[in-house]
Amino acid sequence: MDDRNKKTGRIQSAPENFLDADLAHEITTKGLNPERRSFMLKSFLAASAAIASGSAFAGKAKSAGDPNILNLPEHSTTLGKPVTANPYGVPSKYETNLLRRESPGLTRVSAASVSFAPLQGLFGIITPSGLHFERHHQGWHDIDPSKHRFMINGLVKNPKVYTMDDLMRLPSVSRMHFIECGANSAMEWGNNAVPTVQYTHGMLSCSEFTGVPLSVLLDDCGYDKKKGKFVLAEGSDGSGMTRTVPIDQALDDVIVAWAMNGEMLRPENGYPLRLVVPGVQGVSWVKWLRRIEVGDKPYATKDEAVHYIDLMPDGQYRQYTSIQECKSVITSPSAGQVLLDKGFYNITGLAWSGRGKIKRVDVSVDGGKNWKKARLESPDLPKCLRRFNFDWVWDGSPAILQSRAIDETGYVQPKINELREVRGTRSIYHNNAIQSWKLAASGELSNVQTY
């Protein structure tokens, strides 16, 4: 039936190739007529029959080996599902364990709560949008983008209102950045309080964001360059989330974003509009963004005057703490996981800094006595996650795994005791200490502190 087949004497094995190339072309250009339809059906049946008999033969073979190899599985011997069976693709049905999860007892009501990203099973640096960590203060909504409005007012010549149509016409940028909640690792300032990296570090995600630079919008409204010192970002949700951002930062790399990882933002992450404030804790990345006000003083809103303030040992609070300093963590093998056997393991993890790029990551397997440089994967971007890998052979004896990141400013991720010497143990936010995972001779890993 096919000239090429005749020449090589091979039987076409893949059902999708059962059609002659010329015929396929004719069908795609001219469509199916009844004649062609029946021809196609016949060739299809012939192809399936050839495959079915092949598998029957393999099934009868009695040689030794893995039945998964010897008995051809159903997916090798039958026709698969057509295109657009899932018009919006979903993960494999076998991927049901890695979900964002709440930490029981951390918050009291789940609409003012947080869900953690399952870092223990993620690869590379991009967080799948459906697993992006969540933090809501008054629940989330799925907002009609045609009714969403964005306003700029305050110290501007021309207070303006923009629709999504307006915003999406403006010059846009696409940037990859991490977002970390200021309270990530908060439960670990004192003692180990949670069992796995999902709960110690899972208020961390990283995506490519697309939107218009806030500087473009501020210019468009003619902001007051002399008096304008801060902007207030305000959400349209029930909490009307509000945060102050210094104007220099607002003009530097802040984005009014509508897209995340190639599609529109997910509702839980602020659809249709959120602020992206690179390097700064997540609470400033105001979701469901409705307004930017230019002002000459900070605003002391609830989530910068009562929360997201860092308590020092002398009883003073540091207010407007924002930058997420350099930090790293081994995501696998990590606490709550168990190694299958002795031998080779790829120790892998994430490093990031709110002050710029990651310059180096070191790994220790003996609780911090000796360190070696890890391999850094690309890309090398400022205020973005960086994946690291480290070759290691486990000899079966107990070990303590740690990672330590250094950013381009030369800042070295501290040990927990170094942090505590300055900030005590009650400051809740901005714990960027080195994380230790203890590996027992049984292969089980657990969360420990050592320095």
Partner 1 sequence: MFKRINLFLAVVASMALSVSVYADAYTNIGRAATAEEIAAWDIDVRPDFKGLPAGSGSVEEGEELWEEKCASCHGVFGESNEVFTPIVGGISEGDVKAGRVANLVGNRQPQKTTIMKVATISTLWDYINRAMPWTAPKSLKPDEVYAATAYILSLSGVIPEDFTLSDKNIAEVQKLMPNRNGMSLKHGLRTVDGKPDVHSKACMKNCKTTGKLTSTFPVSARNTHGNIQQQNRTFGAVRGIDTTQPPAKTLKETQERLKLAATEKKGSAKAKGDMLSVAKKNNCLTCHGVKNKIVGPSFNDIATKYKDVKNANVTLEGKVKKGTSGTWGDIPMPAQSASDRDIKALVNWILKGN
Q: Is residue 419 near partner 1 by the rule CB under 8 A? A: yes
Which residues between 291 and 310 bind partner 1 (CB under 8 A)?
291, 293, 295, 297-302, 305-306, 309-310
The correct pick among 61, 64, 109, 441 for binding ligand HEC (CB under 6 A) is 109
Q: Which does 272 bind (CB under 5 to 8 A by kind): ligand HEC, partner 1, none?
A: none
3-state secondary structure 266-335: CHHHCCCCEEECCCECHHHCCCCEEEEEEECCCCCCHHHHCCCCEECCCCCEECCCCECCCEEEEEECCC
Q: Is residue 55 near ligand HEC by the rule CB under 6 A? A: no
Q: Is residue 239 near ligand HEC by the rule CB under 6 A? A: yes
Q: Is residue 300 near ligand HEC by the rule CB under 6 A? A: no
3-state secondary structure 189-233: CCCCCCCCHHHHHCCEEEEEEEEEEHHHHHHHCCECCCCCCEEEE
Q: Is residue 387 near ligand HEC by the rule CB under 6 A? A: no
CB closer to ligand HEC out of 213 and 235: 235
The site that binds ligand HEC (CB under 6 A) totals a number of residues, namely 7
CB closer to partner 1 out of 36 and 141: 141
Q: Which does 357 bind (CB under 5 to 8 A by kind): partner 1, ligand HEC, none?
A: none
Q: Is residue 73 near partner 1 by the rule CB under 8 A? A: no
Q: Is residue 311 near partner 1 by the rule CB under 8 A? A: yes
The site that binds partner 1 (CB under 8 A) totals a number of residues, namely 144
Q: Which two tokens stand for residue 208?
A: 């490519």
Largest CA distance in the chain: 87
Q: Which does 6 bind (CB under 5 to 8 A by kind): partner 1, ligand HEC, none?
A: none
Closest separation between CB of residue 386 and ligand HEC, Å? 32
Distance (Å) of CA 150 to CA 55, 234, 235: 61, 10, 10
The correct pick among 100, 132, 135, 137 for binding ligand HEC (CB under 6 A) is 137
Helix (H) or strand (E) holding 427: none
- Phi/psi region, residue 221 (left: phi>0; alpha: psi -120 to 50; beta: rest), is alpha
CB closer to partner 1 out of 46 and 112: 112
The correct pick among 213, 228, 270, 272 for binding partner 1 (CB under 8 A) is 213
Q: Is residue 379 near partner 1 by the rule CB under 8 A? A: no
Q: Which has the closest alpha carbon to 186: 268, 283, 257?
A: 283
**Chain center to CA of 167:** 25
Q: Which two tokens stand for residue 178?
A: 């991490």
As a whole number of angstroms, the distance between CA 139 and CA 115 comes to: 12
Closest separation between CB of residue 298 and ligand HEC, Å? 18
Closest separation between CB of residue 327 and ligand HEC, Å? 25
Distance (Å) of CA 348 to CA 107, 182, 374, 388: 30, 23, 9, 6
The correct pick among 21, 161, 306, 440 for binding ligand HEC (CB under 6 A) is 306
Helix (H) or strand (E) holding 103: none
Beta pairing class for 310-311 and 317-318: antiparallel
- Give the x-and-dash track for 156-195 against partner 1 (CB under 8 A): -xxxxxx---x--xxx-x----------------xxxxxx
Which residues between 120 and 159 bind partner 1 (CB under 8 A)?
120-121, 137-139, 151-154, 157-159
Closest separation between CB of residue 81 and partner 1, Å? 22
User: Residue 175: helix, strand or coil by DSSP?
Assistant: strand
The correct pick among 112, 422, 440, 448 for binding ligand HEC (CB under 6 A) is 112
Per CB under 8 A, the segment of 20-28, 69-77, 258-266, 440-448 that binds partner 1 is 440-448
User: Residue 372: helix, strand or coil by DSSP?
Assistant: strand
Q: Is residue 302 near ligand HEC by the rule CB under 6 A? A: yes
Closest separation between CB of residue 137 and ligand HEC, Å? 3
Chain position carrying tokens 């120790």: 347
CB 213 within 8 Å of CB 255: yes
As a whole number of angstroms, the distance between CA 385 and CA 352 comes to: 5
Contact residues: ligand HEC, CB under 6 A: 109, 112, 137, 239, 302, 306-307
